[in-house]
Chain A
Amino acid sequence: MAEAKSDLTAAPNRFTSAVKSLRSEWLGLAVILLLALFPFLFGWFSGTSVQDGPSKFWQGQLITFFIMAVYAMSYDLLIGYTGILSFGHAAFFGGGAYAMGLFLTHIGPKIIGSYKITIGSADITEVLVLVAAIFLVVVVVTLLGLLFSVVSARIKGVYFAMISLAMAEAIHILSKATDFGKWTGADEGLHGVPVPLWLNPTQHRLLFYFVALAFCVIMYLIARRLVDSPTGRVFVALRENESRVRMIGYNPVTYRTLSFVIAAVIAGLAGGLFAIWNMGATPSMTSALTTINALIMTILGGIGTLIGPILGAGLMQIVGQFFYQWFGARWPLVFGLIFIALVLFLPYGVIGTYRLKRLEWKHGWQRLRELVAGKR
């Protein structure tokens, strides 16, 4: 260990810091590498093909995990970092999903049918439609986020929790209203959304797996950058003491709006990807249960951290799969009980508790080592 350090000090400063940051992030990098290699490793160990069978199934599970992780992370930006108790997050997720689904179902085919855009000989119409759909998702959820933040500028705390729930529920009701059944499919939702062929999640599962993984990693990096930036510090300050933030000279409304819009856009993009992954959008994506799921994932992993919600989503997705096998269709009951126990006894979640107790454990480990090996 000591030798490696002295080696590095000789290297140029910039390189050192890069390597240093790489070294401090080695665990994250290892996990990403492991996840990237997962389909191949799984195929290799189980002796099945990467393209189908159990490998394909577990790829699917992980894809859902990646998307839900981003969704839970965006929720934590709001509730954990900015301290806004919002129960309307499903509106962003579902709004993104519906925007993507509606565009691809009703407008996409028309464009593809009547126009052909090429660069040289390559036909890029489909790609452009997808880009336009993503753009539309961003616009729609930005508007939704602005709507919510306008309300949150006037109403605070628990009042806002109720109102955000009511607003999300209104959107949920509209998403399954029969009046728009022609477009949204009412109760049934949108099904069989014409996804570009090269991105079809059933035919090109492996590609989609990497798309989802890249999406998750990129969104994490963006969120991380945001949280570490001065703006992110103001978010945390808003959570801790709003009047002091105002006194220092920051406008709380601006920052709350910013936080809302960013969280909404990330959640909406997750929703859009989820719509492509499911090749559809259903009213359940806008329901209160979807918000509660985000909340459970966040609390489970650790509120006020970025890794926490990702871990929580992973636990819910992967452990939930096993729970489903053990307890049958009512596995959420077990999960809910664990959730309540966590709230009562482990309020900082898995990551939060780890960070709290890390030093304690480190000391304990050192003492143990000293006991075993004798004093150094």
Chain B
Amino acid sequence: MTDTLFVLFAVVSVGGAVGVVTGRSPVASLLFMVATLASLAGIYVLFEAHFLAAIQVLIYAGAIMVLFLFVIMLLNLGHDYRADLKFGSWSLLSVVVVGLTASVLVQGITGSEADDFGGHLADPAAAAAIDLAVAEKGAVGAIADPLFTDYVVAFEVIGLLLLVAIVAAVVLAKPRGGSEGA
């Protein structure tokens, strides 16, 4: 049952990812993206990472992609964009990038270090510890506890990084003096 569901979600998420690139209009690409994110959430549930799955749907599919959709519609980009595409020397570069990425991925999947992420996946003790944490603290507490104790510095730094990005966006979007501004 779990295997069947995994194959289903995997096919939908990979197919959706292909659809994002090949979709005929930005709206189609966006919906493919939502399908990919939602089936990734399904895979998280199969791994019993319920909280991650909920946050995946809530933040990515439910908020960020809706903002994307909002922008696509507000700027009236919902039409077929293929006429806008220009193929030149850039397409050669993209072939090189895709090839390099693919070789890294193949190396990662088939290489010698692939089968156990530092032994964590195969380690039954680690899995049991996770089960115990979920049973004791609930699905949210099991993530929140290490996040706000062991990894609190990394957590705060990421928060700062996002703040920097937001401030930068505000600065970029602000009209620059002159007659148009304010």
Is B a genuine binding partner of A? no
Q: Which residues of B contact A (CB under 8 A)?
A: none
Q: Which residues of A contact B (CB under 8 A)?
A: none
